[in-house]
Amino acid sequence: MIRADRLITDCRLATMVADGEAYGTVDDGAILIESGRIVWAGARADLPAHEAIETDRLDGRWVTPGLVDCHTHLVFGGDRSGEFEQRLGGATYEEIARAGGGIVSSVAATRAASEDELYASALGRLAGLKATGVTTVEIKSGYGLDPDSELKMLRVARRIGREAGVRVRTSYLGLHAVPPEWKADRARYVDLAVDEILPAAHAGGLVDAVDAYCEPIAFSTEEVGRLFDKARALGLPVRLHADQLSDGGGAALAAKYGALSADHIEHTGEAGVRAMAEAGVVAVLLPGAYLMLRETTPPPIDLLRRHGVAMAVATDCNPGTSPLASMTAAINLACVQFRLTPEEALAGATRIAARALGLEDEIGTLEAGKAADLAVWDIARPAELAYWLGKPLLARRMAGGVWDA
């Protein structure tokens, strides 16, 4: 006899398990939940003997795992709508960055904002993600670029995880850009980011993973390697913004360090893809940035498929290159721009995104033992999650066994 807090029934399940029917479909499904975890999921006809305190009947709606946004910069001050106008006028991202805009222009606003101000502004963006089924979100630092401001960002991210009804994983992104005060001595800034800020963040329990931006306009493979060596010494997993603007060996570097993921990878060549495959590195596709920057070189999707590299999808929600706060829009764009199938894109926003965060044993599928993070949809088939742009599809959202009010 299974004792459960809640029985969910009269629904169709897209369990997103890796084998079986497309989407892991169960046409007439049921889920038993106890203490915030799934204790059974499957066909209603196969329900084991159980006692449930409450029963929710969903009138035939589809249920998926809660969506996982595995790459965001959700906490920041200000915005960069002016740079958006510049890009529409013909300026490139690199030109804006070299002129003192880009990431550095968000640094001053983030440094000036209080923790309460950063928290309040992040909640507005988070509302868009939650309204599109997100129950887990990764949040990076990287707009502070000094000890106090980087730790401030990470504290705000932790607060979001405690108070805002989502699971949060934090990433330290101190090697995002060289701040203005260190332009004349970037080596000293790298020392600061690697040897002082990261250990302080780790000691404060503020960081779950370490990330970096590896590009000619950002940081070299040697500089990132120093950071990753420190992360390894602290027992922290790594991730990497890799090969977004050029094939600078970022994907191969991510593979060398056994990174959870290499993100962007528009310019990664076959050698980099092969290295990712051999190391089990997830490719995180970020179609929002590709759209906003009007890029013309997509990630090497055929190579990723050929070599068996798992592909996640995320919003890259940030103030400059991807002001995208909708996970279903990211799924749509991954299909339209990168030619993922709707099933690949939904897997990339659930099961594979969980793997990109090191959480594949906790979330990402509807299976016994996983957290009861669910999204309930007013759709006739799962492909609609990749089809509609702007139509509200979410009927209910559950995080940790608790329905949203």
The binding site for Zn(2+) comprises 71, 73, 241, 316
Do the Cβ atoms of 61 and 11 come closer than 8 Å? yes
Binding-site annotation, residues for Fe(3+): 71, 73, 241, 316
Binding-site annotation, residues for 4-imidazolone-5-propanoate: 80, 143, 176, 244, 321
**Angstrom distance (rounded) from CA 32 to CA 47:** 9
**Angstrom distance (rounded) from CA 43 to CA 28:** 6
Per-residue burial over 240-254, b if 16 or more Cβ lie within 10 Å, else e, is bbbbbbebbbbbbbb
Q: HSE of 54 in the Cβ direction (CA atoms, 13 Å)?
A: 9
Do the Cβ atoms of 7 and 34 come closer than 8 Å? no
Do the Cβ atoms of 371 and 61 come closer than 8 Å? no
Q: 10 Å Cβ neighbour count for 294?
A: 10
∠ CA 149-151-155, nearest 5°, is 115
CA dihedral 214, 219, 221, 227 (to 10 degrees): -100
DSSP one-letter code for 236: -
Q: Sort 405 into a burial class: Cβ within 10 Å, 0-12 / 13-18 / 19+.
A: exposed
Stretch (H or E) spanning 53: strand 50-65
**Angstrom distance (rounded) from CA 214 to CA 245:** 10
Nearest Cα neighbor of 378 from 22, 9, 11, 7 is 11
Do the Cβ atoms of 152 and 158 come closer than 8 Å? no
In 111-265 the beta strands, taken as DSSP E runs, fall at: 134-140, 167-175, 209-214, 239-242, 261-264
**Angstrom distance (rounded) from CA 292 to CA 294:** 5
Binding-site annotation, residues: 71, 73, 80, 143, 176, 241, 244, 316, 318, 320-321
**Angstrom distance (rounded) from CA 117 to CA 76:** 9
Q: HSE of 390 in the Cβ direction (CA atoms, 13 Å)?
A: 0
